[in-house]
Structure 1
C-alpha cells in the first residue's frame, strides 16, 4: 500500500480530470496502482489480518533450512546464518530457484517457533540448584546517580551469597576488569575472606565469550591467582544458574537507589554502601529456609578462605606516546595531559576503576593523576592545576582557560563578575589551597565558602577546603573537652546582663 498523501493526490487529480497516465508519472507510481486508488470506492481502514504463509516453492528445502537454524543454536550469535546466507547456500548446494522473500519469511517464522519452544521449556520449571556456604554469584546492574549535582547513569557490581541470600554492592562507571576486581577486593576485605567459588554471568567485564570459549583478561587472571579465587561462568540463556544475584540486583536498585542517591565522592559512597547493603538482611528470614539471613551469612563467612597478605592492585598498565601538546588518549576519545615537557615522549599509564595515573617510565616518578573518564562522549581531562600557576600571573587568559572550564557553574559566574584584582586574588587562593589540600578539596572549599559567606575570602576558603579534605570528620575531644561555659557568661555580661558581674565570675 502506498502512503495516504499519495492516495489523496491521486484522487484529487483524478477528480480534476487528469488522465491516469499523467497522474502515475506525477505521483511516481505505476498506472494500475494509480487507477486502483483513483476508482476505489471505500478507503475505510480494515482490520489487520495475518497472512497465511505460502511456501510452495520451498517444498523439499525446509529440512535444509531447519538444519542450518538448529546448527546456529550451538554457534556464537555473531556467526549465525542470515536469510541471505541461507538463500545462497540453498542455491549453491541444493539448486533452489525461489526468491529471497520466500526464504526470509520462512526463516522468520521458524525462528519465532524455536523461540517459543525455548520459552515453553523455561516455563516448565528449572532445576533448583543447591549452593554451598561461601559461594557467591556476581553480576552488574544499572542505575542513575547524582554526582556533584549532575545525574549520571552508572553501573553497580553486586556480589550475592545464595546460601544466606545476602548481597553486597559497589558503584562504578564501567564494567571493565578493573571495576570487577576493585569491587571484589572491596567485598573480600569487608567480609574478611575469599569465597570458595564465584559464578559470573557470561564473562561480563572480565573477558569475552567466543563461541564456547571464554577469553579472560590478564588482570582478572592475576587477581584470581593472587587471592586463590575459583570461578566459573553460567551457560547462555540459563537464568536459573544466577537467579539469586539477578534478584539481588533488582532489590538493591529499589531499596538503595530510590530516590536517586547524591554524592560527590564515589569511593566514600562505596564504603558506606557495603554496610547499607548488608543491613538489608538485618532481621530478615531466608525466603526458603526460614533462618535469619545474617545467621546464615556467618556460615558463609566461616567457609571463606584467608585473605592474601597484601591487597591486589586493581589497575592495568599501558604505554602511551604523547602528542606535541603533551597529551595522550585512552579509549580513542578520552584525552589526558602529561604536560608540555612530555611532548612526543612515551609515558606509563595506570588505569584503575576510578583513577588514571601517569608515570615516568624510566624513573617511576608520578607525573599526573586524574579521575578516569567514561562514556561515549569525548572528554579532555587536562589537569587545571598545571595551568593554574601561569594563570595567576596572567589572569587575562581566564575566559579561555582550562581552569575556568573545570570549575562548577556557580563559581565561574562569581569569578566572571569579579574585577581583575579580586580575580587574581581568588585564583591565588585556589592555587594555594590546591597545593595544600588538592584540587578537588580546594574547589569544594570555594563552593562552600561562597554559599556560606557570599564571597571567596582566603580564611573561609582555607577552612572549608580543610574540612572537605578531611572528609568533614568531627574531632572527638573525649573527657578532655574544654568547658566553654565561661564564654557564655562573658557574653552575657558584655550584652549588659542584669546579674552582678562579680557573682557570675
Structure 2
C-alpha cells in the first residue's frame, strides 16, 4: 500500500501480479508485503478480476407466510375512510382468525413500520403513471374551454359572492371573462354570447365543459349526458358541439387550460377585491384588461396571445345573423305588497299592477318587467335567495292613502341608502309636518316625490330649497320653482298660459298697445291641454226632462 490509502481489490490484484512478474516474489513475501492472506495472493495470481463475493443467506422470517395477506390489508387501507383503517392489532387478529396464522406482536410492528410507507409509495408511483399527461396539439379555430370560478366583488359598498365566467380558445389562449351574480343558465349563455361577439366567431369543432348544471340535466355512464333543451337549442343556433369531461378531479386535466386561466386572471386582476357600483362597470373594465393582455406570452411561447389569435380568428365559424334570445320568460303575479317573486327573490313593480300578471324576461344580470310590449322597470338581478329590491316610486300611489306607512317603508330605506332621498327631502318633510300635521305633511312630501317622474332630480331638489327659503311647503310652488330651475339650467322652458284673445278684445284694443310685462305670465303645473274648436252642433232639447218633472208621485196632494 502507498500513502496509507486502502487499495481497492482490483488494484491490489494488479500490484501483486506486477511484483510477481517483475521480482518473481514468493507467495509468502507478497502476502506479508500487502498484509493479506496467502489465499488472496493465490487468487490474484490466478485471475486479474477478484472473485465475486458469496451471497449472504438471509434467515427466513416467521412473517414470510403472511406477508401477502398483510400487504393486501395495507393496500385496502389506501382507499378506506381514515377512521376505518387497520390498526396493528386488528391485522394480527385477522391473521389469526381468518388465516390461522399467529405471529408475535412486536415482530408484526417491526414489519408494519417499514412496509406501510413502502405500500403508500408504490401506490403513488402507480397513480403518477396512470395520471401522467401527454402534451396535446390543438388546431387553430377548432376548440375552446369554458368554466366558472368564484370571485368576491364589493358592489355599491356591499361584498357579493359572484361567478367569473371564462371562455378560452385552446390554440391561441385568447380568453374572455365576465363576472355575473349567479352561475345560472342565463349567465352561462350570456357569457357565451359576449365571448362569441368579442372573438368574432365560434369554434368549429367543440367546446369542453365539466358537468355544469346550466347545460347538463343528468350525468350518465362515460361521457354521455342528458342536456337541457334550451342548451341544446342554444348550441344548435350557434353551431358547435359540446365535449363533456369526466366527472370530478379525474376530468379536471381535460380542460386544464381554462382551470388555470380562471385562477390566474383572478389573482392578477381581481386582487384586492374590486369595488364598483355595478357589475356592468366591472365587466367594462375587464374588457379593457383583456385587450391589454393580448401582449402576454403563454408557456414561454415565442409569439404573443394577440399574434396567435390574429392567425386563429379567420378560422372560426361565422356568427349567425340573429342573436339567440337567452332571456327566460316568466309571468309572475304581483302580490299585495306590489312585488313579484323571481328565483326566490322579490322585486317591486308599480302599484297599479297589484293582482295582475306581468311578463319578466330573466337575464344574467338584470330582471326586466314588461306590460305587454312596454318596459316598466329594470332591476339588477339579486344573487342568492330571499333578497328583495324595492323602489320608493312604486309605492307613492299607496302612500297617498296610507301616509303613515312611509316612515318605516323598505322603499324609503333603499332611497336613503342610494342617496335619492336627500337631506333636502328630509328638511321639506319636517317643515311640512310642522305646518300641516303628520298625515297632511307626509302627503305634501308624496306630491313632491311624484314630481321626480317628470322633472330631473336636481330641479326638484332646487325647487324644494327655494320653497323652504320662502317659508312655504306648497307642492305647487315646488313644481313652479323646479321648472324655473330647469329653464335656468338650459332645460325645456316652463309652459306659459296666456289669456286667450277673443274677437271683441282684439277689435277694442289698438294696434299700438304695449305688450304686458313677462312677470304677468302664469306658469301652469299640469300639462296644457289643446284648445278644441267650438262645437257647431245644436243644443239638446230638455222637453223630455220637463215631462218627468211634471209627473207627481202617488199620494201627493
TM range (shorter): 0.5 to 0.7
1:201-350 → structure 2 map (5 Å cutoff): 201-212=210-221, 213-236=224-247, 237-282=250-295, 284-287=296-299, 289-331=301-343, 333-350=344-361
Question: Which residue of 382, 387, 395 maps to 1:373?
Answer: 382
In structure 2, relative to structure 1, the CA distance for the partners of 1:119 and 1:323 (3 Å cut) is farther
What's the CA shift string for 1:76-132, capped at 9, x where partnerless?
Answer: xxxxxxxxxxxxxxxxxxxxxxxxxxxxxxxxx9xx99xx76992478521223222
The answer to whether the aligner puts 1:51 opposite 2:114 as a matched pair is no
1:199 equivalent to 2:208? Answer: yes
Partners of 1:317 and 1:354 in 2: how far apart?
Answer: 14
Cα offset, 1:435, TM superposition: 5.1
**TM-aligned CA distance change 1:294 to 1:400, over 3 Å:** same
Q: Does 2:173 match 1:165? A: yes
Counterpart position of 2:530: none
Aligned to 2:394: 386
The verdict on how the C-alpha distance between 1:372 and 1:436 changes in structure 2, with shifts beyond 3 A counting, is: farther
Q: How does 1:78-89 map to 2 (within 5 A)?
A: none
Change (3 A) 1:433 1:185: farther
Please report how far the alpha carbon of residue 239 of structure 1 lies from its aligned counterpart in structure 2 after TM superposition.
Answer: 1.7
Q: TM-score, normalised to structure 1's length? A: 0.59
Root-mean-square deviation over aligned CA pairs:
4.3
Q: How far did 1:166 drift?
A: 2.2
Q: Secondary structure at the match of 1:231?
A: strand
Q: Partners of 2:393 and 2:86 in 1: how far apart?
A: 66
Counterpart residue number, 1:352: 363
Could you tell me whether the CA contact under 8 Å between 1:327 and 1:337 is conserved in 2? yes
Identify which of 178, 189, 196 aligns with 1:181.
Answer: 189
Give per-residue Cα distances to partners, 1:438-464, cap 9 Å, x unaligned.
xxxx69x99xxx9xxxxx9969x989x
**Partners of 1:203 and 1:233 within 8 A in 2:** no
- Deviations along 1:19-50, one digit per CA (max 9) or x if unpaired, are xxxxxxxxxxxxxxxxxxxxxxxxxxxxxx98
CA contact (8 A) 2:351 2:394 kept: no
SS of match in other structure, 2:332 = strand
Tell me the SS of whatever aligns to 1:357: strand
**Cα distance, 1:175 vs. partner?**
0.7
**Does 2:122 align with 1:140?**
no
In 2, the alpha carbon distance for the partners of 1:202 and 1:124 equals: 20
User: Whole-Å Cα distance in 2 between the matches of residues 308 and 414 of structure 1?
Assistant: 52
Maintained 8 Å contact 1:178/1:219: no
Higher relative contact order structure (alpha carbons within 8 Å, sequence separation ≥ 6): 1
Deviates more, 1:397-406 or 1:205-214: 205-214
Structure 2: stretches of 5+ with no match in the other structure: 1-84, 99-115, 433-441, 466-477, 491-557
Distance 1:203 1:132, change over 3 A: farther
The 3-state SS of whatever aligns with 2:406 is helix
**Following the alignment from structure 2 to structure 1, what is the Cα–Cα distance between the partners of residues 395 and 454?**
13
Cα gap change, 1:419/1:180 in structure 2, threshold over 3 Å: closer, same or farther? same
CA 1:428–1:273 in 2, change beyond 3 Å: closer, same or farther? farther
Distance 1:151 1:324, change over 3 A: closer
Contact 1:190 1:274 (8 Å CA) reproduced: no
Deviation at 1:352, TM superposition (A): 0.6
Q: 1:146 to 1:58 in 2, by over 3 A?
A: same
CA-CA distance at 1:208 after TM superposition:
3.5
Q: Is the 8 A contact 2:245 2:255 kept in 1?
A: yes
SS at match of 1:120: helix
TM superposition shift of 1:139: 0.5
- Alignment-derived partner of residue 133 in structure 2: 126
Q: Deviations over 1:362-407 (max 9, x none)?
A: x44444432222213x122344321145558976543122321222
Task: Decide whether the 8 Å contact of 2:360 with 2:367 is kept in 1.
Answer: yes
Aligned to 2:549: none
SS state at 1:399 partner: coil
SS of the aligned residue for 1:54 comes to: helix
Provide the TM-score with structure 2 as the length reference. Answer: 0.54
Greater displacement, 205-214 / 137-146: 205-214
The match for 1:7 is none
Change over 3 Å in CA distance of 1:436–1:279 after alignment to 2: farther
Per the TM alignment, residue 260 of structure 1 is displaced from its structure 2 partner at its CA by 1.5
Deviations 1:266-293 (A, max 9, x none): 22431331231232231x3331542222
Distance 1:181 1:122, change over 3 A: farther
C-alpha contact 1:395 1:420 (8 A) present in aligned 2? no
CA distance in 2, matches of 1:142, 1:148: 19
Q: What residue in structure 2 maps to residue 17 of structure 1?
A: none
Q: Unaligned stretches of 5+ in structure 1?
A: 1-48, 63-108, 451-455, 467-505
